[in-house]
Amino acid sequence: MHRDTLIVHAGYRKHGEPGPFLPGPQFSSTYSSPGAPSQHALTYGRFHNPTWTAWEEALGTLEEGHAVAFASGMAAVAAVLGVCLRPGDVLVLPADAYYTIRRLAAGWLEPLGVQVRLAPTRDNAQADALEGARLLWLETPSNPQLDICDIRALVEAAQMRGALVAVDNTTATAYLQQPLGLGATYVVASDAKGLTGHSDLILGHVATADDERADALRTWRTQHGAIPGPMEVWLAHRSLATLPLRVSRQCASAQELAQFLDGQPGVETVRYPGLPGHPGHEIAARQMRAFGSIVSFDLGSRARADAFLGALTLVREATSFGGVHSMAERRARWGGDAVSEGFIRFSVGCESVDDIITDVTRGLKAAISR
């Protein structure tokens, strides 16, 4: 069957099996389990939960690997770093990696004796930092600058040096990009963004093709305790069936918005991997099914960016991305990314693209009057 069809049914009860299509959330901290614990599939709520099992089966279909769900994207990131790295190891991170991952590496891993090397995503620059590395961390498209690196080429470079590879796939989602199929050891994502798309929960997951690595991640989760809540997992699973519809619409609208913005007065640069002039366009076209829901652009100054955001009446000013409701923010307000003061990260939702462009036109008019 078509992949979209498999996603609509992923992790649901099998066709012909009586009962709900998708069982409701299982709220249990403990389960009746007399005698030897090994006789029971369910014993204690930090070890397992049938709601997680169904969700992980669905994620496994998407990633084509074994998936382990976590309480947040950062819990998933920390689990991969935790199971891979020991004092003396070298971690190669994107210099433009998600800000909190860079903070975690500097604040937790470096004091433990892990050497952290930073190199940009663009131009596969991380390939030159791999000597002696234990783990290569990739993020493509990077957030918020939407730079692209070649996953397959970097996996090959890492394998030659015996390094593992993890890909933060949050911006693309497993719908658009499957790093395990390109040879990565791990794929990691925040499921608070485009994968679930309704801006109503925080979750994360890791997937790997390797059984033993998946077991090690489950042990990490049990021991560190960053377990997902059953309500969040059930909401996420409920959202997954519309993933192909949502993301297809968002990508088509994002492409249209990017083309509209390119050349508009007041817009200094537009970054979208779907624009032929984007430096990573050809690689993205090879390794992604479409180019994603985020369009970034520079309005040249903080005053212009603030005027743009202040004039919007449909698009909400908020952080995060990938939701069905369009949102935008002036990224420099956080201080963690190397972006200019007028840089806008725009997340295209599922509204009519005409309405989105009408709102953006209103914003741009306000911006250029500043």
Ligand X SMILES: *Cc1c(COP(=O)(O)O)cnc(C)c1O
Residues 66-85 that bind ligand X (CB under 6 A): 72-74
Please report how close the Cβ of residue 31 comes to ligand X at its closest, in angstroms.
28
State yes or no: residue 124 binds ligand X (CB under 6 A): no
Residue number, 294 or 353, with CB nearest to ligand X:
294
CB of residue 71 vs ligand X: minimum separation in angstroms?
8
75 versus 261: smaller Cβ distance to ligand X = 75
Q: Give the per-residue contact string, 177-206, with ligand X (x = CB under 6 A; - = no).
A: -------------x-xx--------x-x--
For the beta sheet containing 115-119, the strands, ordered from the edge strand earlier in sequence to the opposite edge, are 66-70, 204-208, 186-190, 164-168, 135-139, 90-94, 115-119
Q: Is 12 a catalytic residue?
A: no
Candidates 98, 186, 260, 291; binder of ligand X (CB under 6 A) is: 98
Interacting residue with ligand X among 63, 89, 147, 168 (CB under 6 A): 168
Nearer Cβ to ligand X (325/365): 325
Q: Which of 12, 89, 98, 102 is catalytic?
A: 98
Q: How far is the CB of 139 from ligand X (least distance, A)?
A: 6
- Phi and psi torsions of 139, nearest 5°: -145, 110
Whole-angstrom distance, CA of residue 93 vs CA of residue 136: 7
Q: Sort 30 into a burial class: Cβ within 10 Å, 0-12 / 13-18 / 19+.
A: exposed
Among 126, 170, 173, 250, binds ligand X (CB under 6 A): 170
From 96, 147, 168, 306, the catalytic residue = 168
- Distance of closest approach, residue 365 Cβ to ligand X, in angstroms: 30
C-alpha–C-alpha distance, residues 291 and 294, integer Å: 9
In the bound state with ligand X, the residue whose beta carbon lies nearer, of 83 and 146, is 146
Site size for ligand X (CB under 6 A): 14
Name the residue among 352, 340, 353, 252 with its Cα closest to residue 303: 340
Active site annotation includes 186:
no
Which residue in 49, 61, 140, 143 binds ligand X (CB under 6 A)? 143
Q: Is 365 a catalytic residue?
A: no
Catalytic residue among 117, 193, 213, 221: 193
Instruction: Annotate each residue in 242-271 with x if it binds ligand X (CB under 6 A) or - if it does not, as one string.
Output: ------------------------------
Report, as residue numbers or ranges, the catalytic residues: 46, 98, 168, 193
Instruction: Summarize as ranges the residues that interact with ligand X (CB under 6 A).
Output: 72-74, 98, 139, 143, 168, 170-171, 190, 192-193, 202, 204
